[in-house]
Amino acid sequence: MGILGGTLDPIHLGHIEAALAARAALALDQVVILPSRVPPHRSTRPHASGYHRFAMASLAVNGIDGLVTSDLELCASAPSYTADTLERLHRTGLSALQIFFITGADAFAEIETWSRYPHVLSLAHFVVVSRPGVAAAEMRTRLPGLTARMVSAARSDEGSGDPAIFLLDARTPDISSTEIRRRIATGEPLTDLVAPAVESHILRHGLYSLQPVIPSADHLHG
């Protein structure tokens, strides 16, 4: 099973393409899109609530074979450290070798700062997908201590022994949530950046704009 986690604020076609590329390269039945609670190491809060981020993720995967969403992290009472999430999955009966945790190369390059590093790497296979401007192979020079575990992504079984770090070069589109939020703030179109249903959801609810259609919970009380 693949997992693609992140703030997803909002989910865009880069996330979808990364999930599909990992699914194809590693012959995964399913990739679970997992919106995070606010990552504790991020200084900025997401700009949409977990409810809206989950809704947009579900709209984005609707009709795409092999992609589903999960509220596992949003429903948890503790912050979303990947290590905790992976251990929670182990308690449901999955082994480390059955979980493929998918990250973009920009995110994986920061792995040494993650909670419970390096233990977190023993809790699942990692699939590192290139991001425009960051080739997967760059991980070999940026994280020299981990090269022994890195392999090119192309295998159909779960493997045995230790979890691996699969490096996958995929042509995902050059999109970031930051750029999408910027465009909404300046009134530019989102064509080819997000699924049409996600764009409608954003506009209908006034997300990421200065004057939301309905005030968010932060503004309702006190």
Give alpha helix (H) positions in the chain: 13-25, 50-61, 72-75, 82-91, 105-108, 138-142, 177-185, 196-205, 217-220
Q: Which two tokens stand for residue 119?
A: 């233990």
Q: 3-state DSSP: the chain helix, strand, coil percent, rounded to 5?
A: 40, 15, 45
Closest separation between CB of residue 11 and ligand ATP, Å? 8
Task: Compute the least distance from the CB of residue 177 to ligand ATP, in Å.
Answer: 3
Position 9 contacts ligand ATP (CB under 6 A): yes
Which C-beta is closer to ligand ATP: that of 23 or that of 131?
131
- Here the tokens at position 101 are 């945790």
Considering the rule CB under 6 A, would residue 31 count as an interface residue with ligand ATP? no
H-type alpha helices, 35-120: 50-61, 72-75, 82-91, 105-108
47 is an interface residue for ligand ATP by CB under 6 A = no
Pick the stretch among 51-59, 100-108, 136-144, 184-192 that binds ligand ATP (CB under 6 A). 100-108
CB of 209 to ligand ATP, least distance (A): 16
Interacting residue ranges for ligand ATP, rule: CB under 6 A: 6-9, 14-15, 18, 103-104, 106-107, 129, 131, 172-173, 175-178
